[in-house]
Structure 1
Amino acid sequence: MQLDRIDKQILGLIQTNFPVVSRPYRLIAEKLGLEEAEVINRIHKLRQAGIIRRLGGLFDSRKVGYVGTLCAMKVPSQDIERVGGVIAEYPGITHNYLRDHEYNMWFTLLAESEQKIESILNDILSRTGITQVLNLPSQKVFKVRVKFDL
């Protein structure tokens, strides 16, 4: 999909300053001199094209009482889809991806406590038959804010 000037303007507005109002798309439309339906339609097309992967709020999980960790597992290539599917069932999983490494499946996990994280990881091991998971909690958080200049 080729982005035109209006698509780029919409993306510029929603990536850092999404309006938290009852009709955000109407407000975006007003700022750009468009109709609300056109903004909704364009965002829908951008999502269908995979340009927008997710549209929603981001919260600092630590400030609302959650702890997080990065995890890695050695998953045989023939089990990637099955194990990935099991991991995806847990609501605290925020990312799940493959790497070209001995530990090839990596994921991030948020939970209410370190004990809950251990419980979830033990459950994942039990359900998948994988024998080991690296639990790599962060020592220091470096949050990087990204804004794509379109």
Structure 2
Amino acid sequence: MLTTFDKELLNIIQTRLPIEPRPFAKVAEWLDVDEATVLERLSWLKDHSYIRRLGAFFDSACLGYVSTLAAVKVRAACIEAVAEAINAYPGVTHNYEREGEYNLWFTLLTSEQAEQDRTLAAISSLPGVDGLISLPATEKYKVSVEFNL
């Protein structure tokens, strides 16, 4: 269960994590605790799946990367194995099951189109995959989500 401290910590790290040599020391200062406490709580939160990933967001297109949202039609018995295989690709940032014919969706970020094409082809050929469609963005929208705990 989340403590009041955990909620305060999560609120800060979502949008206010400072860019400096010891960002967690600064967060600790804001929360009036020591850096070790912040690091211990973050580790606990990650171990208990409250945090999936901690990292910066960059405008990937400005950095020359290409991305796509992909939908995969996977036989029900193979969903777990296919999801695990997809998650093994370093450019996969999200992967989730959905209802419908195309029942597994993921986002893929690669350094060039040829790499994206190779990755999608490899995923298309996984056992249990009966189809894949790539849905690259044609227009960019800024989406920012902050959960106020």
TM-score by length of 1: 0.89
- Per-residue deviation at 1:130? 2.6
Partner residue in 2 for 1:2: 2
- 2:74 alignment partner, SS class: coil
Distance 1:49 1:82, change over 3 A: closer
Partner residue in 2 for 1:98: 97
Q: Per residue, is there more helix in 1 or in 2?
A: 1
- Per-residue deviation at 1:2? 3.1
- Per-residue deviation at 1:15? 0.8
Partner residue in 2 for 1:64: 63
| Deviation string, structure 1 residues 50-83 (Cα, Å, up to 9, x no partner) | 2222111111111110111111111011111221
Alignment gaps of 5+ in structure 1: none
Partner residue in 2 for 1:109: 108
- Per-residue deviation at 1:131? 4.1
Partner residue in 2 for 1:118: 117
* 8 Å contact kept, 1:86–1:128: no
CA distance in 2, matches of 1:2, 1:112: 38
Alignment gaps of 5+ in structure 2: none
CA distance in 1, matches of 2:85, 2:73: 15
- Per-residue deviation at 1:132? 2.3
CA distance in 2, matches of 1:133, 1:58: 27
- Per-residue deviation at 1:129? 5.6
Partner residue in 1 for 2:36: 37
* 8 Å contact kept, 2:28–2:34: yes
Partner residue in 2 for 1:85: 84
CA distance in 2, matches of 1:51, 1:127: 31
Distance 1:71 1:41, change over 3 A: same
| Deviation string, structure 1 residues 93-131 (Cα, Å, up to 9, x no partner) | 111111011110111111123332222111222343634
How many residue pairs match? The answer is 149
The CA RMSD measured in Å over matched residues stands at 1.6
* 8 Å contact kept, 1:94–1:108: yes
- Per-residue deviation at 1:134? 0.5
CA distance in 2, matches of 1:68, 1:7: 33
